[in-house]
Copies of this chain bind each other. A is one copy, B any other.
Amino acid sequence: MYTVEELQNLIEKEIKQRSEQLLLKTPVELYKPIQYSLDMGGKRLRPVLLLLSYNLFTDDVKPALPAAVAIEVFHNFTLLHDDIMDKASVRRNRPTVHIKFDANSAILSGDAMAFQSYKYLLECNLSNMTPVFDLFSTTAIEVCEGQQFDMDFENRMDVTAPEYLEMIRLKTAVLLACSLKAGALLANASVELSEELYRFGENLGLAFQLQDDLLDTFGDQKTFGKKIGGDILANKKTFLLIKALENASPDLRSDLLDWIQKEEFNPQEKVEAVTEIYKSSGAKKLAEEKVEIYFKQAMKILEDIQLDSAVKQPIKHLALKMLTRKH
């Protein structure tokens, strides 16, 4: 059995090797942004989840490495295109691809990454790849749907909590779920077990994203990596904002709406005021409870999976780590 750290090292090495191979291809103008994007690092959560899931059923994870790379390349493709759409200029303390290179390179290199992820997947050379391809393609479309909902919400003030939860399910949770299910399918696990792992990943992903929203407002600048209050300044329709609008007293609600509509303001002042409303309206507490509900649900599904509990330990360990990264 591999530990999370061992898998992280394994995947990191594999990605480095693959991206160096890509740099040997032409035109370099297409492959340089891909290498830059893959080189940005990150926690490699999705490939690690795939390998952990594969490792539940098979001792040697090496045959699943190409699929793990595929998931990470796909994930980085979505970041790359999202950054163009969101006009984000910094990711992981480095200029985003469309800033470092240009928008055209970012679009086209992203496209090539999407297809390259299928090429990596194909290396696994399973007798029946159809279910894996189907899962992967369906998930990819769902991620696009999630991103579109996210963009649509920017222009709406009536986004409901269920709509928001569905958006983050599509944009974030399904890819974590897909990683786990793909690992199981590649290991020839039963459809039932693969489905259970998918549901585990979905719930974990929802908890993870809601937690990320909480950290964006209440996290510690040093460990969070991004600037605190970004969602508030962007008037992002997060669970916190939706719940605050739903539950705040009329006065607080009107204060909150004022802050959202104001075109000129002191950013720090806005972040502090809205943060305070999130607390006093009970929105923060509701969000924390929701994280807890999804996380417990994920843990229950994992517990119920008919496998030795020792084998499930590394997945449990990673899930806990994912949900406590602020502390």
What residues of chain A have their CB less than 8 Å away from a CB belonging to chain B? 25-27, 29-30, 81, 84-85, 104-105, 107-112, 114-116, 118-119, 122, 125, 129-130, 133-134, 137-138, 140-141, 144-145, 147-149, 151-152
Chain B residues whose C-beta falls within 8 Å of the C-beta of A134 in the assembled complex = 119, 122
Query: Whole-angstrom distance from the CB of A291 to the nearest CB of chain B?
Result: 26
Tell me the complex Cα distance, A105–B111, Å: 15
Contact partner of A122 (CB less than 8 A), chosen from B107, B130, B152, is B130
Chain B residues whose C-beta falls within 8 Å of the C-beta of A107 in the assembled complex = 81, 84-85, 107
Contact partner of A129 (CB less than 8 A), chosen from B30, B111, B119, B133, is B133
Contacting pair B141 A119 (CB below 8 A): yes
State the majority secondary structure of interface residues on A.
helix
Contacting pair B108 A111 (CB below 8 A): no
Contacting pair A152 B115 (CB below 8 A): no
Tell me the complex Cα distance, A72–B85, Å: 26
Tell me the complex Cα distance, A28–B130, Å: 28
Contact partner of A125 (CB less than 8 A), chosen from B112, B122, B130, is B130
Contact partner of A27 (CB less than 8 A), chosen from B81, B105, B148, is B148
Contacting pair B125 A104 (CB below 8 A): no
Tell me the complex Cα distance, A122–B115, Å: 15
Contact partner of A29 (CB less than 8 A), chosen from B29, B119, B148, is B148
Chain B residues whose C-beta falls within 8 Å of the C-beta of A138 in the assembled complex = 119
Chain B residues whose C-beta falls within 8 Å of the C-beta of A147 in the assembled complex = 108
Tell me the complex Cα distance, A151–B138, Å: 31
Contacting pair A144 B30 (CB below 8 A): yes
